[in-house]
Amino acid sequence: MTVESTIIRIATDAKSASGQIAKCSSDKKNKVLLQLSDKIKKEAQYLKNENRNDLLYAKEKGLSDAMIDRLKLTDSTVESMAGGLKDVAKLDDPVGAICKTTIRPNGLEVSRMRIPLGVIGIIYESRPNVTIDAAGLCIKSGNAVILRGGSEAFHSNQALANLVSETLFEAGLPKSTVQVVPVREREAVNILLSQDELIDLVIPRGGEGLIRFVAENSKIPVLKHYKGVCHVYVDKNADINMAKKICFNAKVQRPGVCNAMETMLVDSAIADDFLPEIAKLFSDAGVEIRGCPKTCKVLPEAKAALDSDWGYEYLDLIVSVMIVDGMEQAMAHIAQYGSNHTEAIITSDYARSRRFLREVDASVVLVNASTRFNDGGQLGLGAEMGISTSKLHAFGPMGLEELTTTKFVVCGDGQIRE
């Protein structure tokens, strides 16, 4: 079988399975998720054995220790995958929910009913836990899913796919509800991305290179974010202690993720008071500061920022700092260098807090809270499939509801159009 025929068969099977999983009751979907959770724990040794093949291959290929670490399945990662499925089982099922019901003057009852999207393709890099997270969210939201993980995690993903298939089969659901692409060839991705008659949505997860590749080569709609260049603007009316706490958290708590702060914008009126204090905290935590000329005057120990530092996603213990003359300049900087991901203001001024929320163009805009809250779990979505910085369909973290759409359902008693 060629790669092309394999992918077309998978996509065709997924399309046909999508009709069945769409109709599946919440009870049954939850039972599948819990059974899969149990099976993953029971088969931990099998998963770790298969994972070992990937680790050997990764070492041969000379992958970095950090990448090998992300790839490795341990008792704790297995436990966390199993726990994640239990969490998803507890979430409300969006499918079938009726909303926005209105009665028209002619008596027609018009509502919207939430329905699955159909077939979702996920293209992601090494971490094998994404396989189970994505499978769980798609099953719960009534979608069929095709998973294409990184080639480094090939054996781990196939092993996880086997457990999912078994569970679906035992529950009387089509195995092809969840499929992992069973070939390593890179051309599989291009072929997958051209199945726009069979696949309804593609979500790439990984580095900017992967995401750009998917966005540029897909005939299917793509939900994505390229990167998170998040700013915190410390207004002149900020509470300095609060600003310190939030900026420190936004930068240091987990610097390698997309919702970490990359640039701090500080109002000139508060810079002399605020900067030395936050700089001390940053210095103790090993954070390198790259400042604009004014910042370097206040903080002689700071490195001078280059033009290329503005709008740069460090994903590391580095922060760029700019002193700005008021909120206007801060918002202009964000408009120019931000990535529509997450932006925050620290202020005790009512009017500026409201204006920042209204006018800043980002999927999550915060007042007096850390950028690290741009996360489906933290914002109350329960779990997330990624974050979208494109505005169509979903803007921000995507939970179960964002994996669905609504159709109009209309109940009449004989109405005709006059």
Q: Which of 220, 182, 226, 177 is nearest to 201 (CA)?
A: 220
Residue 264 phi/psi, 5° resolution?
A: -110, 125
Half-sphere exposure of 68 (CA within 13 A, CB side): 13
416 sits near a copy of itself (criterion: CB under 8 A): yes
Q: Which of 108, 285, 304, 306 binds a copy of itself (CB under 8 A)?
A: 108
Residue 85 phi/psi, 5° resolution?
A: -65, -40
CB of 229 within 8 A of CB of 43?
Answer: no
Q: Which of 28, 63, 151, 221 binds a copy of itself (CB under 8 A)?
A: 221
Stretch that binds a copy of itself, among 54-62, 113-121, 122-130, 158-166 (CB under 8 A): 113-121
Distance CA 313, CA 239 (A): 27
Stretch that binds a copy of itself, among 128-136, 153-161, 318-326, 399-407 (CB under 8 A): 399-407
Distance CA 137, CA 141 (A): 6
**Which residue shows structure tokens 């509470």?**
239
Minimal distance, residue 85 CB to a copy of itself, in Å: 23
Q: Which of 46, 57, 213, 373 binds a copy of itself (CB under 8 A)?
A: 373
CA–centroid distance for 259 within its chain: 10
Show contacts with a copy of itself in window 145-184 (CB under 8 A).
none
16 sits near a copy of itself (criterion: CB under 8 A): no
Start-to-end CA span in the chain (Å): 57
Show contacts with a copy of itself in window 30-49 (CB under 8 A).
none
Minimal distance, residue 395 CB to a copy of itself, in Å: 5
410 sits near a copy of itself (criterion: CB under 8 A): yes
Q: Is 390 in a helix, a strand, or coil? A: coil
- Residue with Cβ nearer a copy of itself (192 or 298): 192
CB of 243 within 8 A of CB of 345?
Answer: no
Minimal distance, residue 219 CB to a copy of itself, in Å: 9
329 burial level (CB within 10 Å; 0-12, 13-18, 19+): middle
Tokens of 270: 């508060």
Here's the x/- map for a copy of itself, 59-98, by CB under 8 A: it reads as -------------------------------------x--
Q: Which of 60, 290, 26, 287 is nearest to 52 (CA)?
A: 60
What is the DSSP code (8-state) at residue 346? E
Q: Which of 149, 228, 396, 399 binds a copy of itself (CB under 8 A)?
A: 396
Strand ranges (DSSP E) for 125-171?
144-148
Minimal distance, residue 103 CB to a copy of itself, in Å: 9
- Residue with Cβ nearer a copy of itself (32 or 238): 238
Show contacts with a copy of itself in window 298-357 (CB under 8 A).
335, 353, 357
Stretch that binds a copy of itself, among 32-40, 147-155, 168-176, 376-384 (CB under 8 A): 376-384
- Residue with Cβ nearer a copy of itself (71 or 191): 191
Q: Which of 374, 383, 386, 398 binds a copy of itself (CB under 8 A)?
A: 374
Tokens of 44: 């931990």
368 burial level (CB within 10 Å; 0-12, 13-18, 19+): middle
Q: Which of 185, 239, 313, 349 binds a copy of itself (CB under 8 A)?
A: 239
CB atoms within 10 A of CB 78: 21
Q: Which of 8, 113, 281, 317 binds a copy of itself (CB under 8 A)?
A: 113
Amino acid at 4: E
Stretch that binds a copy of itself, among 24-32, 155-163, 181-189, 241-249 (CB under 8 A): 241-249
Residues that bind a copy of itself (CB under 8 A): 19, 23, 96, 102, 104, 108, 110, 113, 115, 117-118, 200-201, 221, 239, 242, 245-246, 248-250, 253, 335, 353, 357-359, 361-370, 372-374, 378-380, 390-393, 395-397, 405-417
